[in-house]
Amino acid sequence: MGSSPSSTTKIMETIELKKLLKEIGDSVHSMNTIAVALSIMPNDNIQISQGLDISWHPKQLDNSKITSRSFAERSAIVYAAESLFEYLDLISKNPFWTYSNINFKGEEKKALKVYRFLRQIPDVKEEMAILSELLCHWRNRIVHSSTSNAKLSSSQRDFLIKQKQMIYDNFHHFDIDIALKNYEQNKITLKDSSTLITIAIKCARLVDEFYFAGISSITDYKIFKNKLIEDSGFCKIFKQKDSVKRTRQLDTWFGMNFPYIEQDDRIKILENI
């Protein structure tokens, strides 16, 4: 396309990625805030602030602080995994996703679908895909603690262990031996949750880059026509009589749904409908 929306001269993010980054960012910020607040909480003589209509009388405050921090870490894992599931599903349903064989369909467990999806993205390395799958298995362990037997395959575990030093060097001194042990013992640390979430975000960014690479390969504006006419919201606006209002609404629609398509390309796309 003339003014390619996948140009590397500026950083672009799909709406799907922006949503994931906000949701995960908020949960990680909350997790870290809770961890810091608990770390500076005194061990005695704590008074409940006015306005908090709660009953709170911990018999062992140290244990309560540990449990509360664990709750925040586990919640962040669940939130990140759910956000990743939604992102991969939505991005592969995006009208301009050009890789029909890469999708989030199928009846297999979501953690396995995450791994299968990510392994088809050229720049996502094997260890990143496996660790993203581990994040999702951890989510299952948390949500279905009494019934979940979710785990990595033995070959995946062996691969991670072989890559131990590389993972340690590249992912904030993440010790895979400790992480796998924590997973088996059904506990989690701030290091586990923050590192796995960071890796999931890295993978999502690489998926987004792959998305834009697909768009840049489209040279026929009629392909965009076929995609847009399937959208009822777009068609409702497009079928209006030519007017300033219609132009404004079309600009708003593109801005909300496909902000990375440049104005010149929007005009050419509309001319081919």
SS (H, E, C) 15-42: HHHHHHHHHHHHHHHHHHHHHHHHHHCC
3-class SS letters over 181-244:
HHHHCCCCCHHHHHHHHHHHHHHHHHHHHHHHHHHHCCCCHHHHHHHHCCCHHHHHHHCCCCCH
pLDDT tens-place string over residues 228-243: 888 889 999 999 999 9
Stretch 128-141: mean pLDDT, rounded? Answer: 97
d(CA 55, CA 47): 11
Cα separation, 178 vs 191, whole angstroms: 10
5 has a pLDDT exceeding 70: no
pLDDT digits (tens, 9 = 90+) for 172-213: 899 999 999 999 998 899 999 999 999 999 999 999 999 988
For 216-225, write each residue's pLDDT tens digit: 776 666 777 7
Q: What local confidence, expressed as pLDDT, does residue 208 receive?
A: 96
Rounded mean pLDDT, 112-132 = 97
Residue keyed to tokens 């219609």: 246
Coil, helix or strand at residue 7 = coil
Phi, psi of 253 (to 5 degrees): -65, -45
End-to-end CA distance of the chain: 16
Please name the residues in contact with 140: beta carbons below 8 A apart, sequence gap of 6 or more.
Answer: 109, 111, 148, 150
Residue 23 token pair? 């949701």
Closest C-alpha to 265, from 254, 256, 257: 254
CA distance 165 to 167: 5
pTM of the predicted structure, to 2 decimals:
0.83
Cα distance between residue 178 and residue 7, in whole Å: 41
3-class secondary structure, 53: coil
